[in-house]
Amino acid sequence: MIEFSLEVDASGLNCPLPLLRLKKALMEVKSGDVVKVIATDPAAHLDFGVYVEQTGHTMVDLLKQESVQIFYVRKK
């Protein structure tokens, strides 16, 4: 199990809301902390992937379970 500092439940939200919730969560934690985001938007992995690539944060893990995606993002 991956340790995380903050969990964000973005279930039921569509693009761009899951990404906006991640951005807000990353502002609340310190460098090196991990944010866990639960999302049901099927395109969330695309948005999150581009976002971490452009900002320098790290996608620690991505778990896909049926209609749910769980992201672990480490703040740079």
* Residue range 59-68: mean pLDDT, rounded: 96
Q: Specify the pTM.
A: 0.96
CA 7 to chain centre: 9
Residue 37: active-site member: no
Find the catalytic residue in 15, 29, 59, 60.
Answer: 15
Confidence of residue 74 (pLDDT cuts 50, 70, 90): very high
* Residue range 30-43: mean pLDDT, rounded: 97
Question: Above pLDDT 70, what percent of the chain?
Answer: 100
Q: Can you give the pLDDT at residue 46?
A: 95
Q: Where are the domains of the chain?
A: 6-74
* 3-state percent breakdown (helix, strand, coil) of the chain, nearest 5: 30, 35, 35
Given this structure, which CATH class describes domain 6-74?
Answer: alpha beta
Does the pLDDT of residue 1 top 90, yes or no? no
